[in-house]
Structure 1
Amino acid sequence: MTLPIIIVDDESAILHSLSQLLELEDYLPTTFTDARKALEILEPNWPGVILSDINMPGMDGIAFLKSALKIDSELPIVMLTGHGDISTAVEAMRLGAYDFIEKPFSNEHILDVLKRAGEKRALVLENRELKNELSAQGVAGPRILGNTAKIKELRRVLTHVKDIPADVLIKGETGSGKDLVARYLHYNSTRHNENFVAINCGAIPESMIESELFGFEAGAFTSAQKRRVGKIEYANGGTFFLDEIESMPMALQIKLLRVLEERRIEPLGSNKQVDLTIRFVAAAKVDLLELVGRGEFREDLYYRLNVINIEIPPLRERKEDISLLFQHFAAMASTRFNTDTPKLTAEQIYHLKMHSWPGNIRELRNTAERFVLMGGVSVLDSAESLTNGKAEMSLVEKVAHYETSVLQEALLANEGRLVDVQQQLGLPRKTLYDKMRKYGLEKDDYKQ
């Protein structure tokens, strides 16, 4: 990722020269003559470094420094100072500035300071992300495994929205883990002590779905012998998950829309309404907007559900997570079947990655279970796996995939012990660490 740099200075010549220098060095500079404008784009976890002059009209550098650090106390802010401002620069350091640079400055000096500040910022954000993940993964309940950028971003978004009292729409292909994401949201939120209720809108007969959702009073219809609490009321206080929402009959969509808007329900045969404090999570495996365009899904319901939109990447777009997920499912299967977990070979890992996985996580889990039951014999057709991958991968990508497979095989065989991995592969420690960082591999993921 290109490091963004905010430059704040009232001298346009300095802004221009610094901007040119940083662009040539592959940074992403944004310039401001007014410090107050710079504050408007800052937010917690902003990933860059700030260069700010001290003496400026309006909001000066010290006032800007204080305001910026209120937004994020660990922002790296480098102060630019004139010869007579050393005492002010020292004061800025005391207040939390990362460093100060005296004018006139050399390009080498400023680039060195920015490089170090950028590395520190990356480490701070990495540690924050790790703490958030550890906090979430430490809670009893489902976990979202993976180290690829798309999965890290998914976990970040879920952590951010888990306690926001807004409805959620999840989109993902069949088997991609929509139910898992819904449960993850619930069990990592403040609602985790309340009920999580899930229904599949495509699995309940149309004649029954209304009574299943809303419940009914005794005598509401011929077979209603006694009162029954509906699924929505049972989930009150917690989370109600509507899977395959695209299958919901149009007449029921109207009633659901009313529930979402009024936050209350009326059981069949009752004149009393039940107030709801509930989060609705809906999931679809197709593009609901396309259904809206064809008149097969209500537009107003779509926009009412689509307050927070979560998209789950298919497994083929997170190939580096495949061996980790496979290992996880194989370990679960071994426990269930009371047998040892067979070791994956580099060739088997390679074929797993070459497979297109149309069934996504569900298909991978089933493959891992067969692998365990068959004692480690490969259950994928190698020719099919290679054919699936050949057309869309360059030579560089294939080499990278194979290198990753060899590393993962060694990590699995040695249960994450890096000293043993070094000896097995004949790699210097730094080379091994560099390659693991390059491919997003974590030793802890391979410990038994």
Structure 2
Amino acid sequence: MAQAMKIAIVDDEQDMRQSISQWLALSGYDTETFASAEDALKVLGPDYPGIVISDIKMPGMDGIQLLKKLMGADSTLPVIMITGHGDVPMAVEAMRVGAFDFLEKPFNPDKMSELAKRASNARRLTLDNRALRRELSGGTQIMNKLIGASPVMERLREDILDLGQADGHVLIDGETGTGKTLVAHALHAVGSRAGKKFVLVSCAALEEDALAKRLFGPMMPEDAQLPAIEEARGGTLVLEDVEALNDTLQAKLLSVMNEQGTPAETRIVAISNLQEAGKTSEDVLRPDLFYRLAALRITMPPLRQRGEDILTLFTRLSEQFAEEYGCDAPQVSAQEAAQLLQAPWPGNVRQLINIAERAVLQSRRGSGTIASLLMSDHEEMQPVMTTEGKPLKEYVEAFERMLIDNTMRRHKGSIASVMDELCLPRRTLNEKMAKYGLQRSDYL
């Protein structure tokens, strides 16, 4: 066995604990024993590097209660339950709660070893996948650009990790300015094709004949590059504005995709940037092409649905522009924070980038307000509001979080300096940082 998996043995009978432990140790496992469920729970956490074998009938907390606790902490943890002869209802209940399997006393040691092997293999796969996802989500530079703690952004990052590991073609759609091309880069970066070619073609930027030639050839001897479908072979081909393909090119693209088979030699990531009101990619693409692409689909969340991510993004962007222009980032008042949260943001993140840069330039000149920038973008909107209001408490909390975050950044994690500037006692600051998920180590 390449790596010895841990096995936690929980049983109130000492002889039973020792006999199971000795048998599994001979099979190459690293065992540890517990005389009660309460003792086991002190050790068994969500990332426990192994499996659990537990008796059902124990004094105090029984095996079913232990199983429920373990499943609540980590539903993928394999737990093998040991039942007495004739305890069929308890075995059925254990399987319903989430047990990996059960053994009926008296049990065959070889059967126990076989069950332990299957459970350990399942656990190893789960832990490997979990470690990979953490590495990708935390260590990939592109993924780190997908800033935000809102539920829609958490889900987007999960979708990217899931679809990145898959190998099918992908359709990315959503409103303009939401970051669809960035997500296409991220899908490539977190997948098995990360070291291969990444080729991007803007379908709307080329005339019909030039687009056909760029995608499929034939190329002339004097041409410096291969057709995109050949250039991206083994990697990812991203088609921006895929709706700009005419019927002939859509049919050609579908034919190429069909010829590649499964898994695809070249992965197609299609980006739909439809502007017309009421139109979707399904309306303008051939049904067979649409359904082939949309089997794996990501719809980008608009900025107005991302809550206090708006303030987080504005802060980061204004700091970047302030550094670029050699000045201080503008301080956002509570009223301005509410205006940023209330704005409809039809241009999404792209519009926010523009507003942040202009706010820095205004601040450098010592004039202007964020409200004036928002109004200049949408003069017809009086006042700048979304159709859906939020409770005052949400605006206050979003501003408070932004204020603490900004102050921690300026003082590079110095708690004493932040306490002094915000006139907060240590305990209150700690409580608010915990409430908003802010950690001092992120600012050092």
Q: TM-score range by the shorter chain?
A: 0.5 to 0.7
* 2:420 is the counterpart of 1:432: no
Which runs of 5 or more residues in structure 1 are unaligned? 1-34, 71-78, 80-90, 96-124, 219-223, 265-274
Cα distance, 1:226–1:370 mapped onto 2, change above 3 Å: closer
Q: How does 1:191-210 map to 2 (within 5 A)?
A: 191-210=193-212
Residue 64 of structure 1: CA displacement?
4.8
Cα distance, 1:344–1:227 mapped onto 2, change above 3 Å: closer
Q: Partner amino acid for 2:195?
A: N
Residue 328 of structure 1: CA displacement?
2.7
Q: Partner amino acid for 1:145?
A: I
Cα distance, 1:302–1:63 mapped onto 2, change above 3 Å: same
Residue 419 of structure 1: CA displacement?
4.3
Once the two structures are overlaid, the 10-residue window that deviates more, 282-291 or 243-252, is 282-291
Residue 356 of structure 1: CA displacement?
2.1
Name 2:302's counterpart in structure 1.
314
Residue 45 of structure 1: CA displacement?
6.0
In structure 2, C-alpha distance between the alignment counterparts of 1:44 and 1:231, rounded to whole Å: 48
- Taking only aligned residues, the RMSD between alpha carbons, in angstroms, comes to 4.5
User: Quick check: 1:216–1:227 contact (8 Å CA) kept in 2?
Assistant: no
User: Quick check: 1:132–1:159 contact (8 Å CA) kept in 2?
Assistant: yes
* 2:229 is the counterpart of 1:232: yes
Question: Helix, strand or coil for the counterpart of 2:385?
Answer: helix
Cα distance, 1:188–1:340 mapped onto 2, change above 3 Å: farther
In structure 2, C-alpha distance between the alignment counterparts of 1:252 and 1:297, rounded to whole Å: 11
Residue 393 of structure 1: CA displacement?
2.6
Name 1:380's counterpart in structure 2.
370
User: Quick check: 1:355–1:389 contact (8 Å CA) kept in 2?
Assistant: yes
User: Quick check: 1:349–1:409 contact (8 Å CA) kept in 2?
Assistant: no
In structure 1, C-alpha distance between the alignment counterparts of 2:297 and 2:355, rounded to whole Å: 30
Cα distance, 1:334–1:311 mapped onto 2, change above 3 Å: same
Cα distance, 1:319–1:130 mapped onto 2, change above 3 Å: farther
In structure 2, C-alpha distance between the alignment counterparts of 1:311 and 1:184, rounded to whole Å: 14
Once the two structures are overlaid, the 10-residue window that deviates more, 172-181 or 408-417, is 408-417
Q: How does 1:11-30 map to 2 (within 5 A)?
A: none
Which runs of 5 or more residues in structure 2 are unaligned? 1-63, 103-111, 117-125, 376-381
User: Quick check: 1:342–1:372 contact (8 Å CA) kept in 2?
Assistant: yes
Cα deviation code 1:205-233 (max 9, x no counterpart): 12211001012144xxxxx7558511121
Cα distance, 1:168–1:68 mapped onto 2, change above 3 Å: farther
In structure 2, C-alpha distance between the alignment counterparts of 1:396 and 1:63, rounded to whole Å: 43
Name 2:184's counterpart in structure 1.
182
Name 1:57's counterpart in structure 2.
88
User: Quick check: 2:173–2:180 contact (8 Å CA) kept in 1?
Assistant: yes
Once the two structures are overlaid, the 10-residue window that deviates more, 310-319 or 375-384, is 375-384
Q: How does 1:409-420 map to 2 (within 5 A)?
A: 409-420=406-417
User: Quick check: 1:170–1:284 contact (8 Å CA) kept in 2?
Assistant: yes
User: Quick check: 1:323–1:408 contact (8 Å CA) kept in 2?
Assistant: no
In structure 2, C-alpha distance between the alignment counterparts of 1:297 and 1:44, rounded to whole Å: 45
* 2:390 is the counterpart of 1:393: yes
State the aligned residue count: 340
Q: Partner amino acid for 1:261?
A: N
Cα deviation code 1:223-263 (max 9, x no counterpart): x7558511121111211111121222122111111111112
Cα deviation code 1:390-442 (max 9, x no counterpart): 86233333333443444344334434444433443344545434434444545
TM (norm. structure 1) is 0.63
User: Quick check: 2:282–2:290 contact (8 Å CA) kept in 1?
Assistant: no
